[in-house]
Structure 1
Amino acid sequence: MACAFRRSIACQLSRILALPPESLIKSISAVPVSKKEEVADFQLSVDSLLEDNNHQSKLDTQDHARRLTEKLKCDTVVTAISAGPGTLNFKINRELLTKAVLQQVLEDGSKYGLKSELFSGLPQKRIVVEFSSPNVAKKFHVGHLRSTIIGNFIANLKEALGHQVTRINYIGDWGMQFGLLGTGFQLFGYEEKLHSNPLQHLFDVYVQVNKEATDDKNIAKLAHEFFHRLELGDMQALSLWQRFRDLSIEEYIQIYKRLGIYFDEYSGESFYREKSRDILKLLDSKGLLQKTITGNVVVDLSGTGDLSSVCTVMRSDGTSLYATRDLAAAIDRMDKYNFDTMIYVADKGQKRHFQQVFQILKIMGYEWAERCQHVPFGIVKGMKTRRGDVTFLEDVLNEVQSRMLQNMASIKTTKKMENPQETAERVGLAALIIQDFRGLLLSDYQFSWDRVFQSRGDTGVFLQYTHARLCSLEETFGCGYLNDVNVACLQEPQSVSILQHLLRFDEVLYKSSQDLQPKHIVSYLLTLSHLAAMAHKTLQVKDSPADVAGARLHLFKAVRSVLANGMKLLGIIPFYVPESLLCTEQIRKWQHTPRNGP
């Protein structure tokens, strides 16, 4: 409903400024909630109205705001208009605000905030998102966790906005590492160990052969020969490779199931081993290939012809590289999906790689290369379990589940649950995701188990507990109260703050859709949870008059709905944790605003 209020304000401004309302709507923003003072509901920066901001002094801006305020008039929607430091501030009729917001949240459900005029005219696009991309024959490393949850968030957000999204898991199932692994298994592998614990054994073999190859040039030579046999289609080498691939994918599927993540397409570099040869022929036909002194085949990216910047597309022994296969994959996906945008979610260390791939596509004459986008992210530091250094995601998930089960078991009032492992894992995953998404994706961050599992403060556990408490309210009092809402019963400061915050949800979604950063949604949801905690302490439902209880329950239901919507976008499954899991101390903490609250 924020869009209706913006339009009302924009229409009044348009009559004075002689500008169409549509050009003003996106400049009118909901004002963030403040603990210190009651704030206006909407704000317009005067700078956005002035044609030449560079030559406007602060005094000019403030004077312009004051003069505009004198020309504007209050009406049935806007009850107060004031000038701030370079801003116009608008206060909405409180009862109209309450009724409109609660009604819109109820009617729009999971689409609340997405029907805003901020998204009007948004063209529906075909979007391909490549993410996760673990390496076959290696256990799922925690380094792939960020790609997995970030890519899932981007795909969720794009789908929510109505785009046609294809989720691709482009598995690293080809390359020189298989030369090493194939050779290593022939030298150090055991069938019984491969059968009992396949990926752990393959990982151990890979570590050992890498170590041996460093000191023994003959092993390195054998590895090159094995991969060369793979490239030529040698049946014995391919059979061993196929076994490694099948065993790996079986384990990956179980990991994705635990994460609640799915893909529309599983593909791998191996699929493009033949098509990469076609790419080389095409590059050669365009006169873009050059051979270096060492025998490698490169594409000159310098633009000057001096080979100061090149991308290697074929080794001297004729085998392909990651870049060659990525070129083939990009062209194949355009043929298959005719995408408007293709997003690669990969760590920032691959920035140069994607720049080169996109540049070669442009040199080849593919104008759609400009539709390809790399979303980079930083690394996670310090992720360790009680057993020591963590290498594998499975260990992290098991640690998450173990710690949450331990927390639950420590609560004396905990009742038996049908599936405590599932509850523990879902709450724990929320904790992991929120810690990861709180900052800029490009930033590295220090992982902390203690911070992850705090039930108080800006954590995923706090979000899940907030959702659980609100579900408990609805379960306790039922839906009988929700038929008619007396909006006059929701004029307390705590209620108004929540309603003002709910107004901002569409702006937060819009901001995340522009820069693909989940931190905007995370910050919003945490503030919403803190506001709900404060309101729950003072706005009692139990023993209140029926109209008051009904209005408050409706408000808490709206908070729970928007909280769930935002969590789902982040890849968190909102979970109803029985109130018995929240010990008295946890409830007390939940009801008091943390220091880092709003």
Structure 2
Amino acid sequence: MTDHIRSLVATFGDLPSNDVPEADPLRNPLDAFRLDVARQLHSSLDIPVEKAFEAVSTASKVADFSVAFPRFKLPGKPNDVAEKAYRDFQPSAYIAEASHQGAFVHYKVNHETMAKLTLATITELSSRGEDKGDAPSASKSKGSIKSAYGHNESGKGQRMIIEFSSPNIAKPFHAGHLRSTIIGAFLSNLYEANGWYVERWNYLGDWGKQFGLLAVGWERSGDEAKLKEDPIKHLYDVYVEVNAAAEADPSLHEKARVYFKGMEDGDESALALWRKFRDLSIAKYEETYARLNIHFDVYSGESQVTKQSISSALDAVRDSEYVERAENGAMLIDLTKYKLEKTVIERADGTALYISRDLAEAKKRWNLFKEKYGAGFDKMIYVVASQQDLHLAQFFKILDLSGFEGAKALQHVNFGMVLGMSTRKGTAVFLDKILEEAQETMESIMKQNEDRYKLIEDPQRVAYVLGESGVKIQDLTGKRHLNYEFSWKRCLSNEGDTGVFLQ
């Protein structure tokens, strides 16, 4: 505790003694008040301070804290036990008053103490700027979170991966990717604030026959200048054009197949073009993510999963009692016992599917953590739309049945769809265009009050922050598992629970 907080605390008495490991009153002022209640319960009823602390609930609707006495299973009637605790209560610099209601005692804080201690803690922790947690030093160059009010070390020593966003190269950054990006970034920040070491992974859709078709399209209508200016949009335009052309000329699909086979066989000329598309797209994604104050530690993708790792992953289940062969020779696994249906895990010709790539990738990540840190991850979260619920459940169960060490550490955080998301002109959705339009529209709204607009030092910057906040908060205000309708009017409104209002 610093001299500043010591001198403040001295004005209303010392902090309650802390005999509870999980309590952290120097980072979370609320814990000081809960400790004071716990201390009084210990004095009155001889309840261990740690158990008493756990019982002090902040979910009360009638006071700041409540304690339900039946949970202690003490001799006598819970109502009588609660009444004794109430009679023995002594107002302090932390707890101003108590009330008794049946088997409950409710407590109200001293608001003057709460305000002073909270403000002092915010000032102290925000100004210290210490690195927190035990994140490996390699992560610190990527902007590890500093000590600040609201942070704690409850997850210290635990490591995790959060996979989110995961757009497909040469395709629009659709609304599902936006939700995954916003929710995944929120979860990453939340776990880091609780002391976890977090790696943010972006698993790109960067492999498959569509890249053969894209290469064929590039020969037809590719433009280097447009590619450098906006690779994601230009590759999308090329892809749309060649798809339309292939409808009239099926031979283009055969050319695409041949080209992609060359990629799979390691043809360097084919891979060089693919690598250029991928690298330029990632650079553009990084620029767009930065506008949302989001970063990734790893850009992985389907291309990074080797044939050998897929074969190894499938070998782990090939002889399982759940595996069977379809009439066409494909290998499938029967998960109906777990109400997860049957699913193909290898085509008849031996080529991989999404689920077989996922199996191999999960094992690769586990082994990567073991090599780097001496143990696999403690948790890996996939932030993926609810349409993939069955796929993720099957994927997790197959890993579990194969004996994969990290199977219990996997978690799927799903979400509902965003409906009606497009630019105001109704064009295809690219995230950078949505953010640009949010900024432009916000600035036009600000200009409606010319006098105020002239007083703003950097109106473009303010419009950018307000627009970006509007997009983020509209997504976070909806219930995660439900669909919601994207609304420009609500997104940029300065009334109600909106990003503009919060700013």
TM-score by length of 2: 0.78
Partner in structure 2 of residue 89 of structure 1: 106
Residue 206 of structure 2 is aligned to residue 173 of structure 1: yes
Return closer, same or farther for 1:287/1:75 CA change in 2, 3 Å cut-off: closer
In structure 2, which of residues 333, 350, 353 is the aligned counterpart of residue 321 of structure 1? Answer: 353
The residue identity in structure 1 corresponding to 2:409 is R
Return closer, same or farther for 1:191/1:155 CA change in 2, 3 Å cut-off: closer
Return closer, same or farther for 1:268/1:234 CA change in 2, 3 Å cut-off: same
2:464 and 2:115 map into 1 onto residues whose CA distance is: 37
Would the aligned equivalents of 1:133 and 1:171 in 2 still touch at CA under 8 Å?
A: yes
1:215 and 1:68 map into 2 onto residues whose CA distance is: 86
Return closer, same or farther for 1:375/1:398 CA change in 2, 3 Å cut-off: same
Residue 122 of structure 2 is aligned to residue 105 of structure 1: yes
Partner in structure 2 of residue 244 of structure 1: 277
In structure 1, which of residues 375, 382, 393 is the aligned counterpart of residue 413 of structure 2? Answer: 375
1:432 and 1:86 map into 2 onto residues whose CA distance is: 46
Partner in structure 1 of residue 442 of structure 2: 404
Task: Map 1:443-522 to 2 at 5 A.
Answer: 443-464=482-503
1:345 and 1:412 map into 2 onto residues whose CA distance is: 43
Would the aligned equivalents of 1:286 and 1:364 in 2 still touch at CA under 8 Å?
A: no
Q: What SS is found at the alignment partner of 2:454? A: coil
The residue identity in structure 1 corresponding to 2:419 is K
Return closer, same or farther for 1:190/1:4 CA change in 2, 3 Å cut-off: closer
Shift of 1:263: 1.3
2:283 and 2:340 map into 1 onto residues whose CA distance is: 44
2:63 and 2:100 map into 1 onto residues whose CA distance is: 11
2:383 and 2:205 map into 1 onto residues whose CA distance is: 14
Would the aligned equivalents of 2:96 and 2:109 in 1 still touch at CA under 8 Å?
A: yes
Return closer, same or farther for 1:270/1:69 CA change in 2, 3 Å cut-off: same
Would the aligned equivalents of 2:230 and 2:284 in 1 still touch at CA under 8 Å?
A: no
More relative contact order, 1 or 2 (CA 8 Å, 6+ apart): 1
Q: What SS is found at the alignment partner of 2:48? A: coil
Deviations 1:193-231 (CA, angstroms, capped at 9, x unpaired): 656654333223433454566787655555444433332
The residue identity in structure 2 corresponding to 1:377 is F
Partner in structure 1 of residue 134 of structure 2: none
Shift of 1:252: 1.1
The residue identity in structure 1 corresponding to 2:454 is K
Would the aligned equivalents of 2:317 and 2:402 in 1 still touch at CA under 8 Å?
A: no
Partner in structure 2 of residue 437 of structure 1: 476
Partner in structure 2 of residue 336 of structure 1: 368
Q: What SS is found at the alignment partner of 1:168? A: strand
Shift of 1:400: 0.7
Task: Map 1:263-412 to 2 at 5 A.
Answer: 263-279=296-312, 282-283=315-316, 286=319, 290-302=324-336, 309-337=341-369, 338-412=376-450
Partner in structure 2 of residue 13 of structure 1: 41
Q: Which has the larger displacement, 214-223 or 164-173? A: 214-223
Deviations 1:514-534 (CA, angstroms, capped at 9, x unpaired): xxxxxxxxxxxxxxxxxxxxx
1:379 and 1:456 map into 2 onto residues whose CA distance is: 24
Return closer, same or farther for 1:5/1:281 CA change in 2, 3 Å cut-off: closer
Q: What SS is found at the alignment partner of 2:406? A: helix
Q: What SS is found at the alignment partner of 1:298? A: strand
1:425 and 1:226 map into 2 onto residues whose CA distance is: 42
* Sequence identity percentage: 40
Would the aligned equivalents of 1:279 and 1:324 in 2 still touch at CA under 8 Å?
A: no
Would the aligned equivalents of 2:82 and 2:102 in 1 still touch at CA under 8 Å?
A: no
Partner in structure 2 of residue 480 of structure 1: none
Partner in structure 2 of residue 532 of structure 1: none
1:283 and 1:276 map into 2 onto residues whose CA distance is: 11
Partner in structure 1 of residue 163 of structure 2: 130
Deviations 1:30-69 (CA, angstroms, capped at 9, x unpaired): 4679xxxxx6332223454469xxxxxxxx87x4576345
Q: What SS is found at the alignment partner of 2:381? A: strand
Deviations 1:246-287 (CA, angstroms, capped at 9, x unpaired): 332232122112222111111221111334444256337656
1:301 and 1:211 map into 2 onto residues whose CA distance is: 39
1:285 and 1:452 map into 2 onto residues whose CA distance is: 50
Shift of 1:185: 4.2
Partner in structure 2 of residue 72 of structure 1: 88
Partner in structure 1 of residue 66 of structure 2: 43
Q: What SS is found at the alignment partner of 1:319? A: coil
Unaligned runs of 5+ in 1: 34-38, 52-59, 465-598
| Structure with the largest fraction of helix | 1
Partner in structure 2 of residue 114 of structure 1: 151
In structure 2, which of residues 179, 183, 191 is the aligned counterpart of residue 146 of structure 1? Answer: 179
Residue 237 of structure 2 is aligned to residue 204 of structure 1: yes
2:231 and 2:119 map into 1 onto residues whose CA distance is: 54
2:70 and 2:259 map into 1 onto residues whose CA distance is: 65
The residue identity in structure 2 corresponding to 1:333 is R
Shift of 1:170: 1.4
Would the aligned equivalents of 1:198 and 1:247 in 2 still touch at CA under 8 Å?
A: yes
Unaligned runs of 5+ in 2: 1-28, 127-146, 370-375
Return closer, same or farther for 1:207/1:312 CA change in 2, 3 Å cut-off: farther
1:418 and 1:95 map into 2 onto residues whose CA distance is: 36
1:200 and 1:76 map into 2 onto residues whose CA distance is: 64
Shift of 1:396: 0.7
The residue identity in structure 2 corresponding to 1:130 is E
2:501 and 2:60 map into 1 onto residues whose CA distance is: 21
Shift of 1:319: 2.7
2:269 and 2:389 map into 1 onto residues whose CA distance is: 36
Shift of 1:19: 3.1
2:326 and 2:306 map into 1 onto residues whose CA distance is: 22
The residue identity in structure 1 corresponding to 2:235 is L
Shift of 1:366: 1.2
CA root-mean-square deviation: 3.2
Q: What SS is found at the alignment partner of 1:170? A: strand
